[in-house]
Chains A and B, each alone.
Chain A
Amino acid sequence: MSDHTSFDIETPGVQAWMGIAPAVIHVMWRREMLRYFRERSQFFGGISRTILWLVILGFGLGAALREIEGYTYAQYILPGVMTLNVLYASLQCSIALVWDREVGLLREVVVSPAPMLSVTLGKLLGGASIAVFQGSIPLLLLPVIGVKVSVFAIVAAVIVMFFMGIFMTSVGIVIASRLKTFEGFGAISNGVIQPLYFLSGSIFPLRGVIGGVGFLDIPAALREELRGLGIFALGGGWVVQLPGWIQFLVLANPISYQLDLLRFVLLDFQQLPMTTDLLVTFALPLFAAVVATIAMSRTLKKK
């Protein structure tokens, strides 16, 4: 090693077009995947959340709320629990930026010649991919909650979760860019995830008929026939009437629409207008990703 170029390596430079360097996007995405598959605690967190909400709350509360528009309570909250896992996964991935920036690999990334747009895109895709894995955990319990879902519906659900993941990872990046220091995930969990979750129609319906005592005891074939006639409840029940302010908050929460679309593709049950669902699910994340990219490049430059 007499030369100061120590390893005699070919370094043609990062191949990029307008800040898009596929190799950089891929390696930053791969980093997130490696971290996710190596750290089991996140996976077990997803399992325990699923059991708590879907099984314990689903069947426990489901004993009282016999059905919501013909669905059991566990079936009704299935998409909500998937959403909860997506929220945790995306925010955990993006909030990690706070320490990554101060004491982690990101400091190495910011002095490299790699375009920061590609670094951000790799992060977004990584967060969204983890969100899909975590969000799919409740699907393992489909047989337990007694609902048949087609392969097509699962593919559609994965697509919806991916966009939800892009959206929430972007939101997390913006939050992370505003946080100077970070001593625990608790505030994020209580201050961001839970309000978004509770106010999304995840665990209570926005409209429709609840109860319908006895309807579920009718033989399945007859139940199908009655549903075909537009009868979703028998023997009483009550019509959902949410307080105005909760309605307002639910309608103002973008997660409500994404969750509504997820419930539609899985259970064919929709409570909000389709157009809004599609716009909020597929267009809003793209906008959020642009904002996140700007926030990220700003936070990286400052350091």
Chain B
Amino acid sequence: MSSEAEPIGNPESTAPAIETVAVRRLYGEMAAVDGLSFQVSEGEFFALLGPNGAGKTTLIQMLTTLIPPSAGTASVRGLDVAKDAAAVRTNLGVVFQEPALDERLTAEENLEIHAVLYGIARRSRKKAVESAIQWAALGDAGKRAVSGFSGGMKRRLELARALMHGPKVLFLDEPTIGLDPQGRRDLWDRIAELRRGHMTVFMTTHNLGEAEACDRVGIIDHGKLIAIGPPGDLIAEHGGSEGADLEDVFIKLTGHHLRDNVATARDRMVNFASRGGEHTK
């Protein structure tokens, strides 16, 4: 066992796992993310909360190098997301809200593609695929087309896939959404196991029970960070009455009004695909 001061596999970096300094992202006149500054340290388990349209997705898109910040900086393990995008990407494991799998291919074939995209050595690919199938407890299902998988199986597969290349920071966008209680519990146990392995996890969630289990929670609204800290502290500070929980804090800070979004292009695609629309599988 090495001491806490020397994280395994990361001797060179003293930088935080994630750091943003006054990061902004504009869409026309509108600031989707408006001057966010925060840090997530190595091995931390961090949950980002916020109502729909608060800027969570934009923030994740910037941190995963999909879009550059309009102003300010964001970095992952000391690597700037705009300047060192390729290096940042090798450090990340990403699981999206909706499955990003090729449904006509088998689980193993999906994993093989990932192995190549992340530059896993040719001689290690087979082992990497086998380990991931084992980790996801998919067994013989690994040789079946993903189109026949349940939501929980797909999510386990994606989580295992995101771990294949040995990422240092894991991004999980609503990891348990759409799962039944058993599936949610199972996935949560797997995430907890990663936590014990000192993986840095950055997740978004609407499930405040899950958020309460995290080391720290950040709440954003209208592109601004309105609270950050361990869940216990936030409840003590903003909860008010005895027996308050994180949901009370969340509602108090973000207000009661509903955030109904107009369906985005993606929503429409998802609906079309889920109805079995032609050429979507």
Give Cα A38–Cα B87 distance, bound, in whole angstroms.
35
Within 8 A of B (CB), among A89-147: 92, 95-96, 98-99, 102-114
A113 close to B119 (CB less than 8 A): yes
Who on chain A is nearest to B272 by CB? A183
A99 close to B279 (CB less than 8 A): yes
Partner of B131, one of A2, A9, A11: A9
The 8 A-B pairs of least Cβ separation, nearest first, read: A5-B166, A14-B119, A112-B117, A13-B119, A102-B269, A107-B100, A113-B89, A108-B100
Q: Does B228 contact A (CB under 8 A)?
A: no
Partner of B101, one of A98, A105, A182: A105
Shortest distance between the CB of A36 and any CB in chain B (Å): 9
Within 8 A of A (CB), among B100-132: 100-105, 109-110, 112-114, 116-124, 127-128, 131-132
Q: Chain A interface: which of B28-36, B60-68, B235-243, B247-255?
A: B60-68
Residues of B within 8 A of A302 (CB): 67
B104 close to A38 (CB less than 8 A): yes
Residues of B within 8 A of A2 (CB): 8, 196-197
Q: Does A12 contact B (CB under 8 A)?
A: yes
Who on chain B is nearest to A37 by CB? B104
Q: Is the interface of A mostly helix, strand, loop or mixed?
A: loop
Q: Specify which of A9, A28, A105 lies most central, judged by the most chain B CB atoms within 10 Å of its CB.
A: A9
Give Cα A8–Cα B128 distance, bound, in whole angstroms.
8
Q: Mark B120-150, 1 if CB is under 8 A from A, else 0.
A: 1111100110011001000000000100000
Q: Chain A interface: which of B90-98, B177-185, B209-217, B218-226?
A: B90-98
Report, as a range, how many residues of chain B touch the other chain.
35 or more
Number of contacting residues on A, CB 8 A?
52
Q: Does A227 contact B (CB under 8 A)?
A: no
B86 close to A6 (CB less than 8 A): no
Give Cα A6–Cα B128 distance, bound, in whole angstroms.
10
Work out how many contacts link A and B, with CB atoms closer than 8 A: 172
Q: Mark B152-165, 1 if CB is under 8 A from A, else 0.
A: 00000000010111
A182 close to B168 (CB less than 8 A): no
A4 close to B120 (CB less than 8 A): no
Given A103-B273, A111-B94, A181-B268: A1 touches B197 (CB 8 Å cut-off) = yes
Residues of B within 8 A of A245 (CB): none
Q: Does A184 contact B (CB under 8 A)?
A: yes
Q: Does B9 contact A (CB under 8 A)?
A: yes
Q: Mark B238-281, 1 if CB is under 8 A from A, else 0.
A: 00000000000000000000000000011011101100011110
B100 close to A7 (CB less than 8 A): no
Given A4-B9, A110-B66: A9 touches B113 (CB 8 Å cut-off) = no
Give Cα A111–Cα B85 distance, bound, in whole angstroms.
10
Q: Does B199 contact A (CB under 8 A)?
A: yes
Give Cα A96–Cα B122 distance, bound, in whole angstroms.
29
Given A11-B166, A14-B118: A185 touches B278 (CB 8 Å cut-off) = yes
Residues of A within 8 A of B131 (CB): 6-7, 9
Q: Specify which of B103, B113, B114, B135 lies most central, judged by the most chain A CB atoms within 10 Å of its CB.
A: B113
Given A9-B165, A27-B116, A185-B278: A3 touches B121 (CB 8 Å cut-off) = no
A9 close to B164 (CB less than 8 A): yes
Give Cα A42–Cα B278 distance, bound, in whole angstroms.
12
